[in-house]
Amino acid sequence: MVQLQFYREQAARQRAAADAATLQNVRERCLRAADTWASLAAKGEQANLQRIAVQKPEKTIEMLKGRFAPADISRDGV
C-alpha cells in the first residue's frame, strides 16, 4: 500500500508541475509522467486485488477444515 500511495503522490506532483509549466513541451512531459504514475498505481491496485482473490479461497478452506470433520462413510455399521 505504501508503494501505491507513492505512485499517487508522484502523479499529483506531476499534474501540479504541468499546471505550473509555462512551456508546452514541459507541460506535455509532466502530463505524460502523471499518466504513467497513475497507470502504475492502477496496475498495482489491480495486482493487490488479484492477490487477495487468490488467497481468499485458501483461507476459506482452512477455516472450513476446522469446522467439519470428515464423514464416516464406512459400510460396516449399516
pLDDT in tens, 17-43: 999 999 999 999 999 999 999 999 999
| Nearest to 7, CA basis, from 33, 25, 26, 30 | 33
Query: Could you list the residue range(s) of the whole structural domain that residue 54 is in?
Result: 2-67
In a domain, 74, yes or no: no
In a domain, 77, yes or no: no
Domain tally, the chain = 1
In a domain, 76, yes or no: no
In a domain, 78, yes or no: no
Task: For residues 32 and 24, give the distance between their C-alpha atoms in angstroms, rounded to a whole number.
Answer: 12
pTM for the predicted model, two decimal places: 0.68
Question: Counting Cβ atoms within 10 Å, is residue 33 exposed (0-12), middle (13-18) or buried (19+)?
Answer: middle
Percent of the chain with pLDDT over 90: 56
Task: For residues 23 and 13, give the distance between their C-alpha atoms in angstroms, rounded to a whole number.
Answer: 17
In a domain, 30, yes or no: yes
In a domain, 73, yes or no: no
